[in-house]
Amino acid sequence: MNDSILAAFRCAVNFIYKTPKRGLITDTFMGVKKARRGGKRDKSPSPPVAEPEPPQLSEREKDLQELKKFDLDCKFGPCTGISRLQRWERAALHGLNPPQEIKDILLKESTDPEYTQSLWCDYPL
């Protein structure tokens, strides 16, 4: 009974406080407090924890990141309401030299709406 209550409590805490990479916030706080109480001033600061390796992105995720950067580049004008290919063609028409790689990615996956539509296509006008 207690175990289950504890498990439920922990689930709730996990749900509320858990961040994707660092675990529970309560763990982090407790760690900082313990270090101060232990008279850390005498010790030399510990070397910073090495950043974990960024997860390898798949081909699809790399493409989507490139397309997002293209959307957010204000040089090519507003991106809402038109497809990415239409925006690319408009930029080419006005001599803004949009990168050819973007067009290749778009033509490669011309049926996938995540590729063809802009970042904010789900938002209404």
Partner 1 sequence: MFSDVIVPKETLLSAPGSEEPVFARLQPSFSGCLERCRLGERSFSRQYAHIYATRLLQMRDILADRATQKWGGVVPIRKLCDLQTGEQCIIVGTIFKHMELQPSILKEISEEHNLLPQPPRAKYISQSDELILEDELQRIKLEGNIDTPKFVTGSVIDIMGAEKNDGKFTVEDFCMADLPPQTPRQPLSSDRCLCFLLLASGLGLNGSRADSMMGLQLLVDMVTGQLGDEGEQSGAASISRVILAGNLLSQSTQDKDSTTKAKYLTKKTPAGSVEAIRLLDELLMQLVASVPVDVMPGQYDPTNYTLPQQPLHRCMFPSRYFEVEGFVVSLRFLGTAGQNISDIVKYSNMDDHLEILESTLRLRHLAPTALDTLGCYPFYQKDPFIMEECPHVYFSGNAPSYQCKRVTGPEGQDVLLVAIPEFSSTQTACLVNLCTLECEPVCFSSFSTEEDEDNEMNISH
**Is 19 strand, coil or helix?**
strand
Establish if 119 lies at the interface with partner 1 (CB under 8 A). Answer: no
User: Residue 76, CB half-sphere, CA atoms under 13 Å: how many?
Assistant: 26
- Out of 77, 97, 108, 114, the residue judged to bind partner 1 by CB under 8 A: 77
Establish if 68 lies at the interface with partner 1 (CB under 8 A). Answer: no
Establish if 113 lies at the interface with partner 1 (CB under 8 A). Answer: no
- The residues facing 19 across adjacent strands are 23
Closest CA to 114 of 58, 67, 56: 67
Q: Which is nearer to partner 1, 68 or 90 (CB)?
A: 90
Establish if 74 lies at the interface with partner 1 (CB under 8 A). Answer: yes
- Helix and strand tally (H, E) in the chain? 6, 0
| Residue 1 structure tokens | 């009974």
Q: How far is the CB of 105 from partner 1 (least distance, A)?
A: 21
Part of the chain binding partner 1 (CB under 8 A), chosen from 9-17, 20-28, 50-58, 91-99: 91-99
Q: Which is nearer to partner 1, 63 or 71 (CB)?
A: 71
